[in-house]
Structure 1
Amino acid sequence: VRAASGADSPGWEAVALLDRCDVERRCGMPADARRSAALAGRCFARKGHLPGASRAVTLHANVTPAGGG
């Protein structure tokens, strides 16, 4: 995520944040996963990428611990 944020590309940063969200969810860290999804949504919105922003919002709303969804 740090490398992507330095690339001056909100899209790359958002995708990296969604990846981090998935890892955090699988590690049983739902609060961190929701935070990463929210940050990804902001990056997608800043880029004007509405499908990505929508995906991030959906992930944020549906994050549960690993094995739960």
Structure 2
Amino acid sequence: MPILSDKIKEILIGQEPTEAAFKEVGVAVQSEIDPASDLNGTAEYRRDLIRVLVPRSLALSLERAKKGS
């Protein structure tokens, strides 16, 4: 489910798109979500996964935007 977060917008707006900024966003998203546990993973695992995947997806999106694809 998509979320809209003022905290995350504050981190990104006016900042250079750096690895450090993307990691900061990952940590912020991790603190703002409340995933459910089920047979496929615990809530803690999903929060950790978000912390890792958000920066990766932002970096990939930036790379693709620079290439124009």
Assess same fold via TM > 0.5.
no
Pick the structure with more helix per residue: 1
- TM-score for both structures, normalised by structure 2: 0.42
The TM-score, its normalising length taken from structure 1, stands at 0.42
